[in-house]
């Protein structure tokens, strides 16, 4: 019997209340999700702010939940965080000199020819060293040089290789210097690996001594070459994790020499880098590893970039 009220019976009122509460809950959850996506506290990156603790802007996490600082992503790490690496070397010329030549051993007479390096007359070139398992220094230097070229070109540099496996031997050491001079290179780096006794480990960078004799005059390049060498040693150490030489340079990883034609005859800033000792088993394990050689190329590239952009 009707009592004149317009309210629904008790059971119907309970159902209506539940529907209203469910709708409110859905709206609240939706709003919270929108706020989180927009960058509210607890999201990966606050809008206009820094990444949340333990995360990078890309969402990666490092060991132990810390930031992922890895730079091994197929490109070149930005030295010192300065500028965009792409195009940062536009207008710059870099000469990369892969030490020796894989074909030198077939042309021993030609590479034994003596050339004038200012302070003396020395062989045109040599065969280089090798690991105890027979991996040649010349193969190592050419592989790393090609990797460096790719990384430098990615930054806009013009890169000249003194040889790209396309010569029957050499070039001779005087021609290697001449290639850099003719290119008016902003920097030149000769890539090598040492052949010292087992137990001698680590890398070192060779700087030109002050030389003035015959066709050699390094007065104008010793200062900038040292700067290039120091940058190169710092970045090579940081990227590869290799130690500075324990047998040359008194722990500095730097050595000054006046008996190398490639340095004596250079008129542009130039250094040599001995990336490790091929006759030491631990160093050889790195030098023969393609992943490590990519790191070596990145370290060399970053050292050059640091020198040219500071």
Using CA atoms, how far apart are residues 181 and 265, in angstroms rounded to an integer? 9
DSSP state string for 130-177: B-TT--BHHHHHHHHHHHHHHHHHHTT-EEEES--S-SSS---HHHHH
CA angle (36 as vertex; 35, 38 as ends), nearest 5? 65
C-alpha 62/C-alpha 58 separation (Å) is 12
Task: From the candidates 137, 175, 230, 274, give the one annotated as an active-site residue.
Answer: 274
Could you give the dihedral angle defined by the CA atoms of residues 29, 32, 36 and 40, in that order, rounded to the nearest 10 degrees? -160
The 10 Å Cβ neighbour count of residue 151 is 23
Q: Please tell me the number of Cα atoms within 13 Å of 228 on its side-chain side.
A: 25
Active site residue 137: no
Question: So which residues are the catalytic ones?
Answer: 274
């Amino acid at each position: 019997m009707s009592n004149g009220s317009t309210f629904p019976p008790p059971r119907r009122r309970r159902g209506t209340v539940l529907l209203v509460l469910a709708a409110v809950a859905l709206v609240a959850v939706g709003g919270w999700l929108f706020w989180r996506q927009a960058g509210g506290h607890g999201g990966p990156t606050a809008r206009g702010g820094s990444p949340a603790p333990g995360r990078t802007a890309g969402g990666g996490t490092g060991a132990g939940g810390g930031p992922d600082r890895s730079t091994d992503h197929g490109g070149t790490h930005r030295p010192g965080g300065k500028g965009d690496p792409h195009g940062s070397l536009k207008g710059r010329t870099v000469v990369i000199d892969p030490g020796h030549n894989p074909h030198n051993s077939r042309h021993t007479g030609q590479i034994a020819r003596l050339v004038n390096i200012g302070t003396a007359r020395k062989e045109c070139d040599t065969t280089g060293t090798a690991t105890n398992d027979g991996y040649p220094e010349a193969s190592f230097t050419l592989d790393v040089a090609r990797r460096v070229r790719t990384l430098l070109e990615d930054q806009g540099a013009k890169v000249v290789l003194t040889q790209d496996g396309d010569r029957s031997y050499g070039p001779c050491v005087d021609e290697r210097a001449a290639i850099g001079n003719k290119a008016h290179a902003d920097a030149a780096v000769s890539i090598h690996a040492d052949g010292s006794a087992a137990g001698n480990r680590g890398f070192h960078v060779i700087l030109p001594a002050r030389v003035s004799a015959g066709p050699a005059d390094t007065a104008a390049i010793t200062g900038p070459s040292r700067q290039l060498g120091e940058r190169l040693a710092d970045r090579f150490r940081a990227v590869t994790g290799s130690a500075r030489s324990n047998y040359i340079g008194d722990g500095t990883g730097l050595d000054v020499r006046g008996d190398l034609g490639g340095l004596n005859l250079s008129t542009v800033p130039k250094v040599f880098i001995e990336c490790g000792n091929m006759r030491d088993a631990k160093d050889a394990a790195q030098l023969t590893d393609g992943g490590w050689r990519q790191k070596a190329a990145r370290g060399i590239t970053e050292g050059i970039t640091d020198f040219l952009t500071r």
